[in-house]
């Protein structure tokens, strides 16, 4: 049976799908190969953006890297070659900045970062990315025109570089930690009292404070700023419109001087002790999804370029959130069945290990119920595989409706499903499984006007059925599978557990 893919998942042309995902990652992803003697170099893989930015065909670079070296600024080429040689010799991380020529003929600054790996033939393969840092270089140049700004600029650039490195090397599950660290560093650098991140709902009628840093002695507000209705704040809605349509930075130099149309906003800010603030739009995949802001609780003089500096910080946040969303989508696809949308075995097994751990530590009990669709092959053979897919998705929906949020529902493979029940003392897993069998029997299965009679069989194994708590979920799953087999042998449309066979 061939599983039908979700509309937003990888279809038959999975390479095209993943190429689209790669284009969502800021910068250019690549692998770079150099022979053992350094005489041959090429890019076995380089993302399509190399053509958009530099007019270089990925297929050409796959044969030889000369095309890319040909667009490096003459003053930077020797440094790049030397750094590559050093990285290959010592197998150290390669990181370098250089100017590259765009299709317009203009040189702009780029930074590359990659990890080397020695291959069996003595050659070296690097995995990495490089991205445009021109805006940081331009900012550096403009600030250095003033000697008094030099120290400030150096500190800001170091901060941005450090934060950029953190986000570039971001690992799964660390996005919140990295954002909190960014807010802390930015807040301290600019000498503000609060730094924070808000997200909007799709209709911009509500906003929620997702991350916050406050100076010592300043009251934290995040817990009180969840699901805040802003549809009634006319002036703020106008500012949001400016963020969305023109990427506008909202600057309030004096909250007490807001116009009468912003009376509600003025009262809200004064109640929170805010004298002045900035709010900078944060975009994810080209859409404003929220804003990054800083507050001052006292009157102060802001830098003329304060908004520009905060835009750079907002850009870091936008890039990190885009990458995080992409990674979460890829992660979700890796742990979900593309046909039914249920979790798959890759997600199920770690959850069962967690349940085993709680059973060993806290004497918490759980049970595994394995379900199998009766005579499923006959459905496929008589009505076709699309009808079989329909039945699978309907069964998945019934399982989700008949289970609790604390239970884990997964497609185990083929026409088999597993529900892992976390059990309290009063829970009757047999009754919960019986409800599922009854719900399947009562469900109106109809494919292209053809009614389909569907029943399921089940086997239930509790961890307490075993002589001792096992080190892996396999004995529990194996016992549930054995009981499922007995239910099939008993005539189907029933379930079997340690105490026997039950029919509805």
Distance CA 399, CA 87 (A): 54
- In angstroms, what CA-CA distances link 467 with 91, 416, 430, 464, 476? 51, 26, 21, 7, 11
Q: Which residue has 């900045």 as its token pair?
A: 97
- Catalytic site includes residue 415: yes
Alpha-carbon Rg for the chain, nearest whole angstrom, is 29
The neighbouring-strand residues paired with 192 are none
Rounded distance between C-alpha atoms, residue 82 and residue 79, angstroms: 5
What's the chain's length in residues? 504
Cβ within 8 Å of residue 15, ≥6 positions away = none
State which H helix or E strand residue 225 sits in: none
Other C-beta atoms lying within 10 Å of the C-beta of residue 395: 25
Which of 366, 373, 363, 441 is closest to 404 using CA atoms?
366
Q: CA 353, CA 365: separation in Å to the nearest integer? A: 13
Annotated active-site residue in 212, 265, 322, 415: 415
Q: How far apart are the C-alpha atoms of 444 and 288, rounded to whole Å?
A: 43
Kindly give the pairing relationship between strand 456-462 and strand 495-497: parallel
Q: Distance between CA atoms of 333 and 10, rounded to whole angstroms?
A: 9
**What is d(CA 288, CA 205) in angstroms, rounded to the nearest whole number?**
13
> Which residues, other chains included, contact 132 with Cβ-Cβ below 8 Å and sequence gap of 6+?
27, 53, 108, 109, 110
Residues classed as catalytic: 415
């Amino acid at each position: 049976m061939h599983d039908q893919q979700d509309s937003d998942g990888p279809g038959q042309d999975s390479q095209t799908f993943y190429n689209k995902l790669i284009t969502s990652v800021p910068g250019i992803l690549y692998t770079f190969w150099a022979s053992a003697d350094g005489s041959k170099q090429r890019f076995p893989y380089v993302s399509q953006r190399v053509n958009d930015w530099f007019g270089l065909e990925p297929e050409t670079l796959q044969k030889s890297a000369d095309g890319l070296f040909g667009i490096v600024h003459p003053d930077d080429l020797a440094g790049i070659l030397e750094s590559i040689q050093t990285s290959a010799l010592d197998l150290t991380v390669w990181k370098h900045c250089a100017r590259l020529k765009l299709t317009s003929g203009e040189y702009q600054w780029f930074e590359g970062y990659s990890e080397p790996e020695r291959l069996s033939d003595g050659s070296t393969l690097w995995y990495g990315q490089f991205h445009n840092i021109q805006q940081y270089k331009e900012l550096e140049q403009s600030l250095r025109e003033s000697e008094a700004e030099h120290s400030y600029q150096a500190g800001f650039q170091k901060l941005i570089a450090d934060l950029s490195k953190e986000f570039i090397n971001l690992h799964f599950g660390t996005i919140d930690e990295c954002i909190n660290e960014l807010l802390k560093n930015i807040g301290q650098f600019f000498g503000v009292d609060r730094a924070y991140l808000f997200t909007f709902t799709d209709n911009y009628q509500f906003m929620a404070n997702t991350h916050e840093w406050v100076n010592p002695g300043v009251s934290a507000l995040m817990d009180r700023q969840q699901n805040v209705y802003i549809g009634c704040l006319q002036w703020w809605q106008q500012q949001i419109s400016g963020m969305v349509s023109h990427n506008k930075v909202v600057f309030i130099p004096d909250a007490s001087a807001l116009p009468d149309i912003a009376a509600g906003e003025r009262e809200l800010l004064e109640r929170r002790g805010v004298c002045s603030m900035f709010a900078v739009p944060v975009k994810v995949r080209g859409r404003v999804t929220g804003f990054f802001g800083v507050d001052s609780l006292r009157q102060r003089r802001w830098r003329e370029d304060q908004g520009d500096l905060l835009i750079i910080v907002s850009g870091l946040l936008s890039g990190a959130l885009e990458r995080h969303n992409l990674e979460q989508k890829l992660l979700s696809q890796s742990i979900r069945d593309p046909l039914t949308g249920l979790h798959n075995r890759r997600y199920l097994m770690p959850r069962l290990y967690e349940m085993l751990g709680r059973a060993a530590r806290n004497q918490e009990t759980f049970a595994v119920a394995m379900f199998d669709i009766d005579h499923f092959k006959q459905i496929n053979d008589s009505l076709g595989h699309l009808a079989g897919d329909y039945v699978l998705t309907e069964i998945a929906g019934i399982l989700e409706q008949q289970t609790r949020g604390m239970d884990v529902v997964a497609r185990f493979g083929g026409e088999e499903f597993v529900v892992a029940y976390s059990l309290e003392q009063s829970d009757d897993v047999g009754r919960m499984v019986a409800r599922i069998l009854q719900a399947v029997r009562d469900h109106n299965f109809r494919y292209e006007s053809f009614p389909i009679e569907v029943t399921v069989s089940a086997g239930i194994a509790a961890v307490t059925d075993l002589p001792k708590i096992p080190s892996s979920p396999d004995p529990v799953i194996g016992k549930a599978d054995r009981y499922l087999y007995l239910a099939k042998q008993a005539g189907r449309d029933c379930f079997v557990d340690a105490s026997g066979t039950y029919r509805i």
